[in-house]
Amino acid sequence: MNLHIDLKNIRKVILKHFFHLLSDKNRFLILRGGAGSGKSVFAVQKFLLRILIGYKTKTIHDVLVIMKTKSSMQETIFKEFRKWIGYWNLTSITKVTTAPMVITFTNGSRIYFTGIDDPEKIKSATGFTSVFIEESSRILIGDFEEITNRIRGVITTYTQFVLAFNPVSKLNWIYRHFYSEASEYLRNNTTFHHSVVKDNYLLNDDAYKRQIESYKDYNINKYKTYWLGEWGSLEGVIYENYEIVDEFPDNFNDVVYGLDFGSNVPSALIRIGEKDDEFYLQELIYKTQMITSDIINKMKYMIPEEEKNATIYCDSQEPDRIEEIYRAGYYAEKAKKDVNAGIDFLKSKKLKIHKDSYNLIKEIEGYSWMEDKNGISMEKPCKFDDHLMDAGRYAIFTHFRDKRDYNLIVPT
């Protein structure tokens, strides 16, 4: 197949703030930035460009893309790669498979997508020319060391590890490993890059930008992290009473669901199982631009038949949407929306989150109180990345608060 690749105008399609990194060959490329700063977009562009240049130089590239969990790939970075393949009119030279998630190019280059929870893929990782760890602050130092130790083999080009992340806390291993306690080898073989949302002209969601910038008025820590891309702290985090678990019990005493409606923001459906006064949370839906019929269609295969009669507690401000779900055969009800009382109730319980609940884990890690200009807590949660947080509170507080009181009645 004769393929004509013209790179004369490449500068016009690469984000200006990142352009110089196209030629960077350091072993480690650290992309630290605020929310929506374009760091992941650039990483996708660089990997695709390396593969395209490989057509000219007769170099075969194998790229490994990693996130915390394999299940988090589909609607995030895998989708981003497919989007840019479409933008650059590369569909005719690519084959995309979803099981497994692999993008194959006609010259033999491939991009593999996997999670830390897929250890067999990591163990067999040899001969890769690039490794991209998306949201790398979410993995553990042991995971990172396992990856770097496994990536070996003779190749004809440079191997580069690209780490992209929001700098949520200096307690994170990335800060210690690459910044405060970096070895001489790392200092000599690492490129550091910092970006903010203003560096990403491709992000045209002005409402999203205004929301993040508004943090400076009520949560300076989140403003530093998500707007300025600076290292933050864990101060003001609401929930600390949770753990991430690999598996759930086979049987629960009770199962309910929580649903938070969205449109431009995600609609969020969460499953809650209760056993021994502990709550097991699993993310089911987290997606924007969903009308009610879309949610119902997804619920048909996400809610098992034996749980179809379980109550779904919904955002009470959407009575028409609740009625539509009820008419579809589900027990949808309005939830109690006493936010602070609900948070207090959840804080008194043990919460177990399934490891595959990517967005739920991300939300709970950053779910924090608003602050005034002096940094004093206002005892109101920040309204950002809180959709699954709201859905879970709807279900647990509305259903189990009253049930807890009822269970104290001992029959005579």
Residue positions counted in the chain: 412
Whole-number pLDDT of residue 113: 93
Question: Which of 183, 208, 233 is the endpoint of a domain?
Answer: 208
Distance CA 31, CA 160 (A): 13
**Are the CB atoms for 163 and 174 separated by under 8 Å?**
yes
Look at the block and give the residue holding tokens 């009181």.
405
Residue 213 in domain = no
The DSSP secondary-structure symbol of 266 reads P
- Top mean pLDDT of 144-148, 214-218, 309-313 is at 309-313
Report the run of H or E that residue 360 belongs to, with start and end. Answer: helix 358-366
Residue 254 in domain = yes
Helices (H), 118-205: 119-123, 141-150, 173-174, 184-189
- CATH for 73: 3.40.50.300
Q: Are residues 158 and 307 in the same domain?
A: no
Q: Are residues 201 and 247 in the same domain?
A: no
Distance CA 363, CA 270 (A): 13
- Has residue 412 got a pLDDT over 60? no
Question: Which of 165, 185, 208 is the endpoint of a domain?
Answer: 208
Smallest CA-to-CA distance from 314 within 392, 408, 203 is with: 392
- CATH for 284: 3.30.420.280
> Taking the model in full, what pTM does it have?
0.74
In this structure, what token pair is assigned to residue 364? 């709970």
Which residue pairs, CB below 8 angstroms and at least 24 apart, start in 336-341? 336/394, 336/397, 336/398, 336/401, 337/394, 338/397, 339/380, 339/381, 339/393, 340/379, 340/380, 341/397
Q: Are residues 88 and 168 in the same domain?
A: yes
Distance CA 283, CA 258 (A): 10
Q: Are residues 184 and 282 in the same domain?
A: no
Whole-number pLDDT of residue 3: 66
Whole-number pLDDT of residue 234: 62
Q: Give the range of the structural domain holding residue 45, as residue numbers without chain letter.
A: 10-208
Q: Are residues 199 and 279 in the same domain?
A: no
Which percentage of the chain shows pLDDT scores above 90?
Answer: 61
Distance CA 137, CA 157 (A): 27
Pick the residue with more confidence: 353 or 154? 353
Distance CA 403, CA 239 (A): 22
Is the bond leading into 411 cis (omega within 30 degrees of zero)? no
Q: Rounded to whole angstroms, what are the CA distances from 255 to 177, 205, 251, 279, 346?
A: 42, 37, 10, 10, 16
Q: Rounded to whole angstroms, what are the CA distances from 383 to 169, 267, 333, 386?
A: 20, 14, 23, 6
Mean pLDDT of 75-90: 92
Distance CA 177, CA 336 (A): 45
**Are the CB atoms for 322 and 268 separated by under 8 Å?**
no
Q: Are residues 82 and 189 in the same domain?
A: yes
Whole-number pLDDT of residue 2: 59
Report the number of distinct structural domains present in the chain.
2
Residue 33 confidence class, pLDDT cut points 50, 70, 90: very high
The model's pLDDT over 358-396, given as tens digits with 9 standing for 90+, comes to 889 888 988 888 877 666 677 888 887 899 999 999 999
| 3 state SS of 354 | strand
Residue 219 in domain = no
Residue 379 in domain = yes
Whole-number pLDDT of residue 411: 33
Q: Exposed, middle or buried by CB within 10 Å (0-12, 13-18, 19+), for 268?
A: buried
Mean pLDDT of 64-77: 86
The model's pLDDT over 72-81, given as tens digits with 9 standing for 90+, comes to 788 889 999 9
Q: Are residues 61 and 204 in the same domain?
A: yes
Q: Are residues 133 and 255 in the same domain?
A: no
- Has residue 126 got a pLDDT over 80? no
Give the CA angle between residues 395, 380, 278 to the nearest 5°. Answer: 35
Question: Which of 208, 232, 259 is the endpoint of a domain?
Answer: 208
Distance CA 396, CA 239 (A): 14
Mean pLDDT of 165-188: 91
The DSSP secondary-structure symbol of 336 reads P
For residue 1, count other CB atoms closer than 10 A to its CB. 7
**Are the CB atoms for 381 and 343 separated by under 8 Å?**
yes
Strand partners, 332: 312
